Chains A and B, each alone.
Chain A
Amino acid sequence: GDSVTQMEGPVTLSEEAFLTINCTYTATGYPSLFWYVQYPGEGLQLLLKATKADDKGSNKGFEATYRKETTSFHLEKGSVQVSDSAVYFCALSRYNTDKLIFGTGTRLQVFP
Chain B
Amino acid sequence: KAGVTQTPRYLIKTRGQQVTLSCSPISGHRSVSWYQQTPGQGLQFLFEYFSETQRNKGNFPGRFSGRQFSNSRSEMNVSTLELGDSALYLCASSLATGTYEQYFGPGTRLTVT
Contacts and interface: CB of A to CB of B under 8 A. Distances in A.
Interface string A53-64: 000000000000
B64 interface: no
Given A98-B98, A105-B42, A105-B43, 6 more contacts: A98-B102, A99-B48, A100-B33, A100-B43, A102-B44, A103-B42
A42 B4 CA distance: 12
A98 B4 contact: no
A32 B100 contact: yes
A23 B4 CA distance: 28
**Chain B contact patch, size range:** 20 to 34
Interface in A73-111: 89, 91, 93, 95-105
Interface of A: 32, 34, 36, 41-46, 49, 51, 89, 91, 93, 95-105
A104 B42 contact: yes
Contacts of A32: 100
B36 to A, nearest CB: 11
A97 B102 contact: no
A20 to B, nearest CB: 21
A99 B33 contact: yes
Given A97-B56, A99-B56, A100-B102, A43 B43 contact: no
A99 B104 contact: no
Nearest to A103: B42
